[in-house]
Amino acid sequence: MNKYYLNSDSVIYRFDKANKPALRCALPATVVIDTIDSWNNQVKSETDVLDKLDYDIMNPCTGPIYFEGVVPGDVLEITINKIQCTSPGSVLCIPDEGVCGELVKEPSTHIFHFDEDHVLELKNGFKKQLTPMIGVLGLTPADSTPLTMESGSYGGNFDSALIKEGAVVYLPVQVEGGLLATGDLHAQQGDGESFTTGLEVGGQVEFSIRVRKDLKMDSAFVKVDGNLSSMESENSVDKSLSNAMEKFIQLIVDNGKADYTEAGVLCGLFGDLGICQLADDPLRTAKLTLPLDILEYSGVAI
């Protein structure tokens, strides 16, 4: 398998097909990518609060990467082999953002140090194992130029705790070469990203990537922990949840042996709806999670 390395000198702030590729790869491949934290290294101490930062350079993503022979209609299968975060990380509390933002009266920054094994030590010697995850992982859409803070069928800023080591992310290709970029690592984040930010860090990720020409898929999915999850972002929680279920039903219909009603019944009986993030106004990201054995039963070879 080919192996490539991309440092964080090449970053983007929008997913745009006009972006010049920072790297070209032949698939299948292993790709190692360095990333910058979502604040673009502007947060060094607890005095660096949001109103002192340059918002125009937030959420830098390393890339884009062009994959030879990849065309619209293909699906990239991206396995996350390793996420290594750089300590320390930071959490910013922001008034009027997040689920309880109205309770935050003044902006504040909290710095957390952890070791190379991602073990965090809190007060009184309490230690907690962290679970690093990737906030932004996306290809480039064909007909828009979204900020890296946004998300959609192409991937992007899902901020889902599912996108961790061992996960396999499926992204539908919309432009020639795919043009993949990634960043916004979190050393820890609960689903919902409910108090405005995760534990924001820079670091390095390693992916194994191959192209799937046998899958019909027009939105993003994540396979991890014996399940497959659809990922959908819309301007309301209700719409995100509805789309997450609709896209999963369509995946089963397009790739398996069930009709729409049969697929819907399987999703209703065995699928769990959930929230990924509520912090990236105005978008809310939701998921529907279904066990892999139900997919196998329905004839889907994922």
Q: Mean pLDDT throughout 64-88?
A: 98
Which of 27-36, 95-104, 133-142 is predicted with the least confidence, judged by mean pLDDT?
95-104
- Over pLDDT 90: what percentage of the chain? 87
Separation CA 104–CA 282 (nearest Å): 19
What's the whole-number average pLDDT of the chain?
95
282 pLDDT above the threshold of 80:
yes
Element counts in the chain: helices (H) and strands (E): 3, 21
Q: Mean pLDDT throughout 285-296?
A: 97
111 pLDDT above the threshold of 80:
yes
Helix (H, G, I), strand (E, B) or coil at 89: strand
Residue 186 within a domain: yes
Q: What is the CATH number of the domain that holds 41?
A: 2.60.120.580
Q: Which residues contact 91 (CB under 8 A, 6 or more apart)?
A: 109, 110, 112, 195, 197, 198, 199, 200
Supply the pLDDT for residue 117: 98
289 pLDDT above the threshold of 90:
yes
- Which H or E run includes 200? strand 200-201
Residue 254 within a domain: no
| Tens-digit pLDDT profile for residues 187-246 | 999 988 877 799 999 999 999 999 999 999 999 999 999 999 999 999 999 999 999 999
Q: Which residues contact 123 (CB under 8 A, 6 or more apart)?
A: none
Residue 250 within a domain: no
Supply the pLDDT for residue 55: 86
Separation CA 93–CA 106 (nearest Å): 8
Supply the pLDDT for residue 104: 83
Supply the pLDDT for residue 101: 75
268 pLDDT above the threshold of 80:
yes
Separation CA 193–CA 281 (nearest Å): 12
Residue 301 within a domain: no
- Over pLDDT 70: what percentage of the chain? 100
Helix (H, G, I), strand (E, B) or coil at 35: strand
Residue 292 within a domain: no
| Tens-digit pLDDT profile for residues 156-185 | 999 999 999 999 999 999 999 999 999 999
Using 50, 70 and 90 to split pLDDT, how confident is the model at 267?
very high
281 pLDDT above the threshold of 80:
no
Contact 114/26 with Cβ under 8 angstroms?
no
Residue 268 within a domain: no
Tell me which residue range forms the domain holding 25: 2-216
Separation CA 117–CA 140 (nearest Å): 33
CA 35 to chain centre: 14
Using 50, 70 and 90 to split pLDDT, how confident is the model at 13?
very high
Question: How many structural domains comprise the chain?
Answer: 1
Helix (H, G, I), strand (E, B) or coil at 82: strand
Residue 51 within a domain: yes
| Tens-digit pLDDT profile for residues 34-72 | 999 999 999 999 999 888 889 899 999 999 999 999 999
99 pLDDT above the threshold of 80:
no
Residue 160 within a domain: yes
